[in-house]
Structure 1
């Protein structure tokens, strides 16, 4: 059996323990409406303009924004007493910001309208009517930002063969035009032009890649949540588009051509493109949660690692794949679980894929609570 060098094993274990402070910030500056609420505005002014910003993660460039006015919100926020701790692994994807006395104020807001201090990660006790109004605003903006979670059996009719559509990468915000050329179990797609192929390659950092990415597919007024990879393969092609083959886009419930089975990484990204990552992962079995961790480690995705473990981690192992089948057993009465999984991965500085065994320890607080991966020891 091939073994990783001791240096690599140490790097992996250190990577699993490496934590970074998590701060939610808005990358955009306040617009003219928000800027008008400056130091010249006195406390007695009853109406302020607020901005909501939705982004998949605090690192994403793609975002949606909306402004609104409210007479009660400022006082509600100023008088709100700190409440209970916000225990979800990820802060909400929506930020509320406004200018007060020349300083920008920022809070996180859940789809239920709950307001969270992004630094202390504690809920603020705001009146129910204020929370209801915020919930309506957040829901409307998130619906605009994310895609519709549509099963493949319906999506394939929305995107018939040879239809042309716009594909938006939910992280970078880059978009290009594509055409469905074939595919009965998912969409086999081609970039339309050389420029479209170049944009797809840019999304993947200048190299073709099998990594899965959350995408929006826009056609005839509808926006569908999907997942793509960026590797040309197979037959078919549009002449002169600099793309030799096709790439795949999966939707809810779509399967691979060969195995006719769900691809966990594609399904995870479909949920992400619909804005449902946290909700989806919170309902997964321990075995499916381990797959989320492996996908995150393979793609070096800190958000996936955090939603699986509840902590920020830095782990990136190229070509990491699960080799062994899970010996799944009934965990309905368990609060803790330890299991060993065989994986393949490419060590740093090597082009050779090797096998390794990872010992996962998982736990949950109660029988109706979600699971977390508490440790992943590479042996």
Structure 2
């Protein structure tokens, strides 16, 4: 049982906005997963050298880098003026750095080639030719880093039963070999060896888990965007691999075997693995947006919380799951919307699971704009 003091502390879950830097530091020249050295140690000395780095989240260790020389682009960057405020809910997944008179300049770059000074959250105005040149480099780098977005029907043909493939976790960069054993609505997969099972368990911090994670599935020169959980269940089939059962990998539109319904948390991770998280969330209904927020709260995923609220924030619960079904209404002409959701949750400093009610307040500027969760109050 929670004390009365803890209950009072849990009354309201504030969206606590932090001021920590969002853009990572450090670049090399290949895809890898490791801690970064300070930027000043990695800058190339060649004039006009520009370094790009892409990763799914500021905290991700898996990243892909590119260094190229373009003196006219660097000149355009140095002469760029500050433009409009950036409307992105999360920082661009691509960072750009170059040396300006011995000082390292670090900026964000969108997939369309817009350069963002994320400290001021304002766009930099570049000549069209410079923006086009930068866009081509960024799009090529992102295509190398992320996976193809295929429907389950398409992915099932690329990954036939008993095919083996490499699974890469887009956050940690850890990879292992798996084999599709079954699954008609998504892929039922088993690690190939004891070593592969150990790596899968390491991805989840040493404990089997139902948490959804964005992954890349690599087979025959193709890389597919997908989502997995890490809990052994159901039938077995590969003896001696230290994995009693199988785990599931979902693709775009794939459904669970039991409910025959699309799993919202898996679909969010599929879009993250494709580099489309912000685009996907920006088109969601209020109820789907709340599901993403609950997934972020449950898994302690600060990026999911940020993309739903538009602000960087802290999380004060250990777990949260939705209980009640949504009674969706027509919000097409509304600018504000309030609703409540019944959840089970475990507080940050508690071990017991309690039933709670969360009051959500959502807003948007115009009916053409996306929704944001502006407050979430736990009763």
TM-score, shorter chain, exceeding 0.5:
yes
> Partners in 2 of 1:301 and 1:31 — Cα distance?
30
Partner of 1:165: 165
Partner of 1:16: 15
Following TM superposition, by how much is the alpha carbon of 1:346 offset from its aligned partner in structure 2, in angstroms?
2.5
Which segment is superposed worse, 369-378 or 85-94?
A: 85-94
Which segment is superposed worse, 21-30 or 74-83?
A: 21-30
Partner of 1:362: 362
User: Within 5 Å, which residues of 2 pair with 1:87-236?
Assistant: 87-236=87-236
Following TM superposition, by how much is the alpha carbon of 1:14 offset from its aligned partner in structure 2, in angstroms?
5.3
Following TM superposition, by how much is the alpha carbon of 1:349 offset from its aligned partner in structure 2, in angstroms?
4.9
Residues 120/231 of structure 1: CA separation in 2 closer, same or farther (3 Å cut) = same
Q: Which runs of 5+ in 2 are unaligned?
A: 28-36
Partner of 1:26: 25
TM-score, length-normalised on structure 1? Answer: 0.93
1:86 and 1:123 in contact (8 A); partners too: yes
Following TM superposition, by how much is the alpha carbon of 1:6 offset from its aligned partner in structure 2, in angstroms?
4.3
Partner of 2:329: 329
> Partners in 2 of 1:123 and 1:292 — Cα distance?
27
Partner of 2:31: none
Q: Which runs of 5+ in 1 are unaligned?
A: 38-46
Deviation string, structure 1 residues 78-116 (Cα, Å, up to 9, x no partner): 211110111211110001112233322111111111111
2:180 and 2:190 in contact (8 A); partners too: yes
Aligned length: 369
SS in 2 for 1:346: strand
Residues 106/247 of structure 1: CA separation in 2 closer, same or farther (3 Å cut) = same
Partner of 2:280: 280
> Partners in 2 of 1:116 and 1:362 — Cα distance?
26
> Partners in 1 of 2:248 and 2:40 — Cα distance?
38
TM-score, length-normalised on structure 2? Answer: 0.93
Partner of 1:43: none
Partner of 2:33: none
Which segment is superposed worse, 74-83 or 17-26?
A: 17-26
Partner of 2:66: 66
> Partners in 2 of 1:35 and 1:377 — Cα distance?
49
1:344 and 1:354 in contact (8 A); partners too: yes
Q: Is 1:36 the counterpart of 2:40 in the alignment? A: no
2:338 and 2:362 in contact (8 A); partners too: yes
Residues 17/8 of structure 1: CA separation in 2 closer, same or farther (3 Å cut) = farther
Partner of 1:312: 312
Residues 5/149 of structure 1: CA separation in 2 closer, same or farther (3 Å cut) = farther
Residues 348/235 of structure 1: CA separation in 2 closer, same or farther (3 Å cut) = same
Following TM superposition, by how much is the alpha carbon of 1:281 offset from its aligned partner in structure 2, in angstroms?
0.2
The two structures, once aligned, show a CA RMSD in angstroms of 1.9
2:85 and 2:122 in contact (8 A); partners too: yes
> Partners in 2 of 1:190 and 1:125 — Cα distance?
50
Partner of 1:262: 262
Residues 115/347 of structure 1: CA separation in 2 closer, same or farther (3 Å cut) = closer
SS in 2 for 1:305: helix
1:281 and 1:308 in contact (8 A); partners too: yes
> Partners in 2 of 1:73 and 1:271 — Cα distance?
31
Residues 203/352 of structure 1: CA separation in 2 closer, same or farther (3 Å cut) = same
Partner of 2:6: 7
